[in-house]
Structure 1
Amino acid sequence: MTKQESFYELGPEQVIQAVENLGFHCDGHQLALNSYENRVYLVGIEHEPSLVAKFYRPGRWSDESILEEHQFIQELATLEIPAVPALTLHGKTLHRYQDHRLSLFPVKAGRAPDLENDDHLQQLGRYIGRIHALGAVSAFKHRPTLDVASFGDDAYEFLMENDFIPPDLQSAYEKLAEDLLNIIEDRFEDVDAEQIRLHGDGHPGNILWDSAAGKDGTPYIVDFDDARMGPAIQDLWMFLSGDRHQMNASLDTLLTAYSQFHDFDCRELSLIEPLRTLRMMHYAAWLAKRWHDPAFKAAFPWFNSQHYWEQHILSLKEQASALQEHPLQWL
């Protein structure tokens, strides 16, 4: 059995054995958490708080890349920037059990942020600013950069070369994708943004609001699995929603608070729609690349249908229009 096949067949018994192999006594309670790239479980521990066990997908990250992620989170925690580092056990944060690589994390409970609450947006802005102030101090050596080649070109080429796009839509997708990538490439070159260490996937689902921490609570950002080098705006733009007026108002609140801890280059605002487009293209290719994983077929049954690709192309056409609009402004 290959490591990949072993990963697909990972079940409750192996999870308990792996955790107990690290010196814990499981109480039998186990819950699969909402993760597909990796396998993540909430595991009950006898007479102690539960733990989160994260089993890494084979072939995605090297050991060095995973350890660099762990180091970044630990640096944040050392500076009292709310983060959830992996537990150090037997002097290590990355462990092996049979064919699997895993890490254990303490459980961090919380609720989703209220992005219509200015106090939450201000706290979130200050929080991301503190993360980026540290992220700008040094560079990742083993983790990639968010760029047009890796998020756009690679995604486009994979879908075309592996016949995911239906034949009657291939011509439309090819022309549209190439036009978009040319526009986005030009935009990235024009901005020439500073590359800093990022969370990389800053969206509301990765923020937990700890209501018990102080009067107004404290945001925690979780799941640094996509941490990489990139422009600061990548960790901010997904917290903007609503119409243009609402997004501008939210942006003003976020960046005013953010700039208390880290300078923001306003030229990066013109990267919001390019980054949104790249995320859409990358997401479609991510689903396609993982389509052999049984968990993906069960979780995303709507993917790879004629309707899905028609809607994907329609969404990209809407992005082509969005790329022509003036970028948001920091008021």
Structure 2
Amino acid sequence: MTGHTITQETAETAATAAQTSVAQSRAARELGVKRGEFELAVMLGRVRTVADTPGGRRRVTREEIERVRAGDGFPEAWLERIRAVGTTEGAALMGISTARFTRLTRAGFVTPVKFYLNRYRAVVWLYLAEELKHFAEAEVNASLLTGRAPGTIRAQLEAGVDLRARNWRGRHAGALLRQSDDPWERAAAVASLLDPVQLAGIIRDPYERAYVRRLMPDPFGQSVPESPAGRIIYKIMTADHPDEIRWLRANLTIGLSQARGLRPAPRPAPQPGTDAVAGVVPGPRAEHAAEPSPHDPAPQPATHPEAPPAALPEEGSNRRTSEPRGLLKWMRRRGA
């Protein structure tokens, strides 16, 4: 299949999707819900989305909007299923104190569904009200709601264990993977939870790495990456536990293998006069990629480059800048 045919089919697919679907903001308005409620519904899988092209904005089909509207008790019952509550309201739903509720969440018994930073840049975790009710109603959890907590849990909490961010990342990764069938997008979803040093060690080819970054989901929140709020959000969204990092690395390696089998990452076209055969896309050049060095600058939050991968230079370039000969000559003359 020629590149022209692929481009034509992609354009036709995008045009068809645009005619039969709407943007998520418009879908939220048509369903009569707030944007935050709609985004949570998408994350939970209560509203299915589609993508016109890999890495493109996800949209909602007309058929899906009608399916949600036709649900029993819409919109009241539907909104109740996606209602998120904070610590105080969550503790009240479970019939326990806020202190006990916080201990349960820190120990990992309840998983946050989203978070935000308040005016004091403190992290506010939110939980699905439906899940809290089910947890409180389960007989197996009765001992956790009353009396003294088990010794293992007390020991973990005294040691400073807090699994809220880690559990949220796991839930977030699952939501991202559910929303895409494209192997490169799925690899990018996993990669978005790893720091740049980890990515450089796994994705050696610079063009593949740039393509994965371009397909990563939009950064959470609107904070500037290097601002105090941006650093807090980056820390929450980046895996920090060894077991979690190993799991993400393994999944990313498998995902990359599947993605490469589907199609190569975009890269510059062969220049005239090179040995490359016209029309053949060169494969990854892992052997030429630079290894991460312990002297490299501290990793920064992953960003989505605006320029296409083909515009990126090769990493590890050893070009030397020209010396200021005039200045050196003058200094030698002064020292003579």
- TM-score category of the 2 structures, normalised to the smaller one: under 0.3
Judging by fraction of residues, say which structure has more strand. Answer: 1
Task: Say which one has the larger Rg.
Answer: 2
TM-score (norm. length: structure 2):
0.24
For CA contacts below 8 A with separation 6 or more, give which structure has more relative contact order.
1
